[in-house]
Chain A
C-alpha cells in the first residue's frame, strides 16, 4: 500500500543535548533515514509529536528555524511521563517524531514590517523558530525587537542565543526577570513582561506583535498592546492544549469549534477573542 500509516513517527537521532535552564533541555535531532530528511519540510509555528518508544508521545513546537535544513530542534521542560523519559535520554539515542502539524506564522505577509517578539519563560521556543526564520531573511523586515522575560536569571532559556541576539546591531533585545529573580551581576530589566513592555512603549505603526507566554502573561500583555495602538489583527499568539494525534482526530484540543492542532496553534488576537476560554 502506498499510503502511509500516519501514526508511525520518523526515527530521529539525538545529535546534541543542551541544558537550557533547570529542568529545561533542547534536543537537536537528525533524521535516521536520509530520505526522510530530504522529503521533510516545515514552516515557523508548526509543531510535532515527540516520542519515547515505550513511554508515549508529547507535543511541542519545532524550535529551530525552517531555514536550517539538516536538523530540527525542540525544547521542553521535564514535567510528565514522556518529558521525563525524554530528559533521561543521551546523545545518540533514537526517539520518534511525527509532524509537522498545524498552521504557521504568516512570515511572508509580514515582509516590510517591524516585528516585536514578546515571550515569557518556556514560551520562547515557539518564538525562537520564527525569530531565527526572520533573522535568516533579515533584509525582508524592518526593525526586529525581542522582549523576553523569565522568573529568574537561571530560567532564561537559549542563553547563548540571547547573547548573540543582544550583540547584533540589527536586533533590539530586552531581557527581564521577575523582581527578586535577578543575580548581582544582572544587567537586564527587572519587572514583569507587561510592565516592561509598557515602559519601553514600542511604536505600533507598521508593526506585528508576536506574543507567547504563560496565560497570565498573555492576559496582561494584550491590554498593554492595545494601549500602544496595536490592532487585534496585528497581534499573534500560539495556543497549546492537550493533544494526542496532532491532526484533528483524537478530539481533545478543540477550543470551541476550532482545533488547536489544525486551525492553530497560531492565532491572531482577533481570532482568540471570538473563541470561548477553553484553553
Chain B
C-alpha cells in the first residue's frame, strides 16, 4: 500500500477515524468519491489528476457529520476549502483529520486546523493561464459583445444546480434561489433566470471561492460560469494583494480596513 493508503488504513484500524473519504476507481476510467469504514478498503484509494471533484463538500452533509471522526484525502483545493469552511465555523476541528496530498505529491497528515492553516497560507491561488486568457478576452469585449457572450453561454443552463451541489461553499440549507417570499430569482431556466442565478451565486462566493473548479467540472453542459469567480480572484489580487483562505486573516470582502481602495466608487 502507498503512503496515504497506509495512513488511512491505520486511522481506521486504530479507531482514530470512523470513516475515510477519498477517491476510488469509478466507471469509464473516472474516479469517484468513496466513504470507507473498514481498513481493508483503504488499498483501493486512488489519488491522481482525475480527482477534481471537491470532496470537502461532503463534510457539511448531515449524513456524514453523524458518522464520527472523518479522515479525508485532500488535494490542495480540498485543503483550502476545509480552511475556508472552518473560518466560517462550519467544521469542528476535533472531528476532521486531513490526509493532505500536496501538488508535488507529498503526503502530509494534519490533525489540527492550525497546521493545515499554516500549510494553506504558504500556498497561493493561481488562476491557470488558459482561464486568464479567456477572462482577458471577455474583459476586452464591448458591453454588447460581453452581454451576448454571456447570454449565449448562460442561456444553455437548465438549472440542475450541479454547480451548487458540487461546491463545498454552497452549504446553505436554503439557497437564495429557493427563497420565494419574495421570489428573488425566477425558478424557470430562461435566460433572465439563469443570469440572476449565476450572478447571485458568483456574488455569494466572492472572497470565499477557493478556485477548486469543481462547479465547472460538475456542469453537465460545460458552461464556463467559473470565469466569474476566477475573475474575482484576479480582481482581489489587484485590489487587495490576493485572496487565500485563512483562519487568522480577515475575510477579504467582509472586513474593512482604512486603507482599502475605494476605486469601485467612480
Which residues of A line the B interface, CB within 8 A?
A: 80-81, 84
Contact = CB atoms under 8 A, between A and B. Distances in A.
Contacts of B180: 80-81
B181 interface: yes
B183 interface: yes
Interface string B156-199: 00000000000000000000000011010000000000000000
Contacts of B181: 80-81, 84
B182 to A, nearest CB: 9
Contacts of A84: 181
B102 to A, nearest CB: 46
Chain A binding site: helix, strand, loop or mixed by DSSP? helix
- 5 cross-chain pairs, A with B, having the tightest CB-CB distances, nearest first: A81-B180, A81-B181, A84-B181, A81-B183, A80-B181
A84 B181 CA distance: 9
A84 B180 CA distance: 11
Interface size band for B: under 10
Contacts of B183: 81
A80 B183 CA distance: 12
A179 B2 CA distance: 65
Contacts of A80: 180-181
A52 B180 CA distance: 14
B55 to A, nearest CB: 30
B180 to A, nearest CB: 5
A279 B108 CA distance: 48
Interface in B177-234: 180-181, 183
A5 to B, nearest CB: 18
A81 B183 CA distance: 9
Nearest to B181: A81
Contacts of A81: 180-181, 183
A80 B174 CA distance: 15
A81 B180 CA distance: 6
A80 B181 CA distance: 8
B177 to A, nearest CB: 14
6 contacts: A80-B180, A80-B181, A81-B180, A81-B181, A81-B183, A84-B181
B248 to A, nearest CB: 43
Nearest to A85: B181
A81 B178 CA distance: 12
A84 B182 CA distance: 11
A273 B183 CA distance: 39
A244 B183 CA distance: 17
B155 to A, nearest CB: 24
Nearest to B180: A81
A95 to B, nearest CB: 18
Nearest to B187: A56
B195 to A, nearest CB: 21
Nearest to B183: A81
A133 B181 CA distance: 37
A88 to B, nearest CB: 12
A94 B181 CA distance: 21
A127 B181 CA distance: 30
A85 to B, nearest CB: 9
Nearest to A82: B180
A81 B187 CA distance: 14
Nearest to A54: B183
A152 to B, nearest CB: 26
